[in-house]
């Protein structure tokens, strides 16, 4: 028993001694492939015990939008509805920067059928309340034209200029192939490559190395 406890403590110490894997996730609110990645891979990975300790997610809801800094306008790939939804997600991430707070919210939005995201505050309110987030504060941000604009600019700058599609996912500077359908394994492999070890990765790494 003492040996097992020592091994567990050593594993935890190794996880915290190694810098977390940097994960950049560039998406847009009405992109079906983005929705699938968030609900099927990103949130389940984050919900795996221990995984939040070894990865730091920078979530950027901007995607293929085009910004005109002089005119102060943003044109989203899927229209104004997408800009409306992106803005809500940007506000949530700005107000609740902890990924344990914002990831369940964006996953909730991703799971909502497109027709219910069409400029309806109610959808975003329900996802906020379901995840114990203050919707009044979020809506105040969303409805503040200056703040919303600043967040659009920030997210445009966080989106790599050379990105070619969404979701555009970068794990420790390496572009992730979303068709591999093994996001957790890729994060764990990146963590192991920098000398990290975590019990959360045992099953994922065994699958990668098979």
Domains of the chain plus CATH, in order, are 20-209 (3.40.30.10)
Sheet holding 174-175, edge to edge: 55-61, 21-27, 168-171, 174-175
Dist CA 55 CA 127 (whole Å) = 24
Can you tell me the mean pLDDT for 118-132? 91
DSSP state of 19: P
| pLDDT one-digit tens code per residue, 25-68 | 999 999 999 999 999 999 999 999 999 999 999 999 999 999 99
What Cα–Cα distance (Å) separates residue 187 from each residue in 114, 119, 197?
29, 35, 12
Mean pLDDT calculated for residue range 193-206 = 84
């Amino acid at each position: 028993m003492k040996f097992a406890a020592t091994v567990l403590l050593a594993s935890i110490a190794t996880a915290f001694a190694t810098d977390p894997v940097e994960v950049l996730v560039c998406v847009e609110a009405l992109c079906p492939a983005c929705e699938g990645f968030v609900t099927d891979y990103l949130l389940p990975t984050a919900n795996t015990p221990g995984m939040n300790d070894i990865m730091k997610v920078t979530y950027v809801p901007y995607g293929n939008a085009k910004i005109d800094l002089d005119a102060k306008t943003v044109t989203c790939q899927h229209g104004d509805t997408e800009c409306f939804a992106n803005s809500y997600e940007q506000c949530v991430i700005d107000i609740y920067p902890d990924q344990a707070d914002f990831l369940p919210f964006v996953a909730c939005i991703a799971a909502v059928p497109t027709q219910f995201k069409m400029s309806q505050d109610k959808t975003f309110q329900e996802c906020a309340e379901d995840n114990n987030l203050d919707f009044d504060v979020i809506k105040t941000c969303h409805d503040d034209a200056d703040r919303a604009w600043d967040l659009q600019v920030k997210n445009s700058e966080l989106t790599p200029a050379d990105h070619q599609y969404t979701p555009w996912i970068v794990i420790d500077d390496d572009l992730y192939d979303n068709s591999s359908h093994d996001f957790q394994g890729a994060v764990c492999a990146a963590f192991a490559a920098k000398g990290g070890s975590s019990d959360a990765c045992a099953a994922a790494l065994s699958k990668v190395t098979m």
